[in-house]
Amino acid sequence: MVHRATTVVRPGLDNTFVVAATRTFLDGGSPYADPRFLYLPSAVLAAVPEALLDDRLLRVAAPCIAGALVLTGWLLALRIFGVSANSRLAVLVAGGLAYFMPFWSVVVLANWTASSVALMPLALLCAARGRWTAAGLVTGLAVALKPMLAPLLLLFLFARAWRGAAAVVLVPLAASATAALAMPRPGLFFTRVLPFLLRGQDDLARPYDASLVTVLPRLSVTAWIATPAALALAGAGLLLAWRRWQGGGDPRLRLVETSAMLMLAAFLVSRPAFLHYALVPLLPLLASAGVPGSAPRSPWFWIALLPQVPAFAWPLLEAPERRAFKDAAMFCLLAVAVGARCLRPAGTGRPEAPAAHRVSFRSRTP
């Protein structure tokens, strides 16, 4: 798989944009002069080691690092539930990723989403052990690299983990402010990047954007209907996440399902929402499969993933300009499966801890 990922026409395409912008910064220019660089200023400093590498080495290293980060995220997700790395669940999912299109996407593109895939389970593992400040620092680091985990701020607010919530905000803010002081014209982030993101993607990326605010207009739904509908669904997702948090039950499962619902609600309305984003909430959910009543125990959870298995052909949706419809269906069905779990009473697993900052349990992994 790594060989195929490094021999495609443009391997590591997404990472290439970040590296090119960072090299511009090292040469004395503004990284935001490149219209394809859409990250926070802090990501520029993080990409400096990559920018110093030879392009031929980077072509191989970037996809390998992305794949390693995803597998690291899977091992950390298993530790949340005390599942051994040599268990059948661990091996089956690790092997199954090779046949799962979101994994292919993040590896072939060497997209920085892989950092969020690794850091979200680490943050949840810290929170599960009662270390909410550490969880906030990890989440803040993830946001500094790529602001995908920003919706997890609500998890800290639900838990009343104020120091952790402050870390989620202050870490990327401090890192970006430091980077902005070192680069020319940092204001381009506000005048060029933010308006671009609010308008949606350009012609290069728009066909792959699976957010409802992008997909519904492509189905002839007018924007004044599509946008409120997507916002309403995202709002319903937030309410379901709050209900799941209030529902109690196994504290590990509560953390994972609440955070997954928050992320899926954001994907429904945010622009963009690409197919590899699914890996972020998916790995912790898969690790919960051994807990009675968890979302993966529902057949709808697995039905949602079927469109992303190459063995199942969808002739009308395989063209690049149409696959966003298939990806949107996956996000919607996953949100329904997790949302249904959020509505059910939490009657299984360990008893609920009296407060979030006292949620603590020891991993059973040797």
Tally the domains of the chain: 2
pTM of structure: 0.89
pLDDT digits (tens, 9 = 90+) for 97-133: 999 999 999 999 999 999 999 999 999 999 999 999 9
Q: Is the peptide bond before 272 cis (omega within 30 degrees of 0)?
A: yes
* Co-location of 163 and 61 in the same domain: yes
User: For position 240, what pLDDT does the model report?
Assistant: 97
Q: Is residue 363 part of a domain?
A: no
Which residue from 272, 285, 249 is spatially nearest to 124, judged by alpha carbons? 285
SS3 of 298, please?
A: coil
Mean pLDDT of the chain: 88
Q: Is residue 216 part of a domain?
A: yes
Cα 18 to Cα 37: distance, rounded to the nearest angstrom: 6
Cα 101 to Cα 330: distance, rounded to the nearest angstrom: 12
Cα 181 to Cα 222: distance, rounded to the nearest angstrom: 43
Q: Is residue 143 part of a domain?
A: yes
Of 9-23, 141-155, 293-307, 321-335, the range with the lowest mean pLDDT is 9-23
* Co-location of 188 and 235 in the same domain: no
* Domain boundary residue, one of 180, 199, 218: 199
User: For position 249, what pLDDT does the model report?
Assistant: 86
Tokens linked to 292: 């009675």
* Co-location of 158 and 302 in the same domain: no
Q: Which helix (H) or strand (E) holds 316?
A: none
Residue 2, number of CB atoms within 10 A of its CB: 11
The residue with greater pLDDT, 312 or 165, is 165
Maximum distance among all alpha carbons in the chain? 59
Helix axes 251-269, 223-247, angle to 10 degrees: 170
Tokens linked to 340: 């249904």
User: For position 73, what pLDDT does the model report?
Assistant: 98
* Domain boundary residue, one of 147, 167, 199: 199
Q: Which helix (H) or strand (E) holds 202?
A: none
Is the per-residue pLDDT at 205 higher than 90?
no
Q: Is residue 365 part of a domain?
A: no
* Co-location of 111 and 169 in the same domain: yes
Cα 113 to Cα 93: distance, rounded to the nearest angstrom: 19
Is the per-residue pLDDT at 198 higher than 90?
no
Is the per-residue pLDDT at 352 higher than 60?
no
User: For position 12, what pLDDT does the model report?
Assistant: 61
Q: Is residue 364 part of a domain?
A: no
User: For position 30, what pLDDT does the model report?
Assistant: 93
* Co-location of 171 and 211 in the same domain: no
Domain holding 247, by residue range, is 201-354
Cα 233 to Cα 247: distance, rounded to the nearest angstrom: 21
* Co-location of 46 and 168 in the same domain: yes
Cα 237 to Cα 268: distance, rounded to the nearest angstrom: 9
Model confidence at 338, pLDDT cuts 50, 70, 90, reads very high
* Co-location of 242 and 286 in the same domain: yes
* Co-location of 183 and 53 in the same domain: yes
Question: For 57-80, what is the mean pLDDT?
Answer: 96
Backbone angles phi, psi at 350, to 5 degrees: -75, 155
Q: Is residue 360 part of a domain?
A: no
Sequence-ordered alpha helix ranges (H) in the chain:
2-7, 13-26, 41-46, 48-51, 55-80, 88-96, 101-109, 113-128, 132-145, 153-158, 162-182, 188, 194-199, 212-218, 223-247, 251-269, 279-287, 299-305, 323-343
Residues 6+ apart with CB under 8 A from 20: 34, 36, 37
Backbone angles phi, psi at 10, to 5 degrees: -135, 75
Residue type at 209 in one-letter notation: D
Q: Is residue 359 part of a domain?
A: no
* Co-location of 174 and 207 in the same domain: no
* Co-location of 220 and 100 in the same domain: no
* Co-location of 193 and 115 in the same domain: yes
- 8 A C-beta contact, residue 163 and residue 137: no
Q: Is residue 362 part of a domain?
A: no
* Co-location of 107 and 169 in the same domain: yes
* Domain boundary residue, one of 199, 233, 259: 199
